[in-house]
Structure formats: C-alpha cells, structure tokens
Amino acid sequence: MPVEVSNESEIAVDEAELAGVCRFVLGEMEINPMAELSVLCVDTEYMSSLHERWMGEKGPTDVLAFPMDEFDSGRPDDPEPGPALLGDIVLCPSVAVRQARAAGHSMDDELVLLATHGVLHLLGYDHMEPDEEKEMFALQSKLIDAWRAAPREPVTGAATGQESGSR
C-alpha cells in the first residue's frame, strides 16, 4: 500500500512508523492494497492556516484529514478494482508533543494515534454524534492495540515511508 510521508515540521518524526501504522490500519480495514495515502507533518503556523481555512477555527489542531477519491475496498466480485488516492492526512507534531505530555505517553505514541484517527476519517468515520464517537474511538483503540501487538521487520536504510512492515 503506497503511503508517502513528508515531514515539513521543525520536529523530527519517525516517518517509517507513521507509514507503517497507516498501511496497517488500511490493511486491517480491508482497503484495496493499491490505494494511496499521503501524510504530511507541518508546523503550527501552517496547521493554523489549514484549520482556519477548512474548519473555520483559529489556532493549530493535531490532525486534519482531506479525503480525495471514493476508495475501492477491493471486493472480490469487482473484476478490475482500480487504485484510488484516499487523500491526505496532515499532522502537527508540535501539538502532538503537548498532547502526549498531557496524556503521559510519548510523541511517537501520540502520532500513531493521530495517524490512525486521520485514516479513519478518510474512510468515512466521524465523531460528531455520541454514537459515532463511541464507534470511531473503539475502533481506533482496537487498531492501535493490534498495531502494537503486530510483529514487524526491522527497518533498514533511509525512512522514505515506502518500506514494507516498517516501524
């Protein structure tokens, strides 16, 4: 599953881990393996501008998801399931650092949570209503627990976001 990760923030992030968790979540959700996803890490200034432009809210947020195409689940009865660009997930590591401290875990753990959250938004999940929130957050927790329990191969070479099974 092609996942492109680009870090344009001032904070170092584990790009291979972000790509890996996104691929894992898409696989668990049985999304077409040809589906493409982009993850962009940005600074607070850029995230603030996106947050205001697209959500009408001032200040930076932790994650935004921008769906692109209808995704193809790769159903067996579809003769030629085509690749789809799922969309973009934008993360703000500076916000993730603050949230991680408040939650008592690492920034990497927070970014895994935020990336998972973003993928679920791209797949149509939301948390505007209490029932939706309960469903989305339960699924998010289940996926993160499964990600942490899943065996992974060691990463070799530069972290391009394209390695298989990276963490």
76 burial type by CB count under 10 A (0-12 exposed, 13-18 middle, 19+ buried):
exposed
Residue written as token pair 């947050």: 51
127 is in an annotated binding site: yes
Structure tokens at 8: 């344009």
121 is in an annotated binding site: yes
105 is in an annotated binding site: no
> Helix (H, G, I), strand (E, B), or coil: what is residue 134?
helix
Structure tokens at 58: 């001032």
> What's the number of CA atoms in the CB half-sphere (13 Å) around residue 58?
0
| Alpha-carbon torsion (49, 54, 58, 60), positive or negative | negative
Binding-site residue numbers for Zn(2+) are 117, 121, 127
Binding-site residue numbers are 117, 121, 127
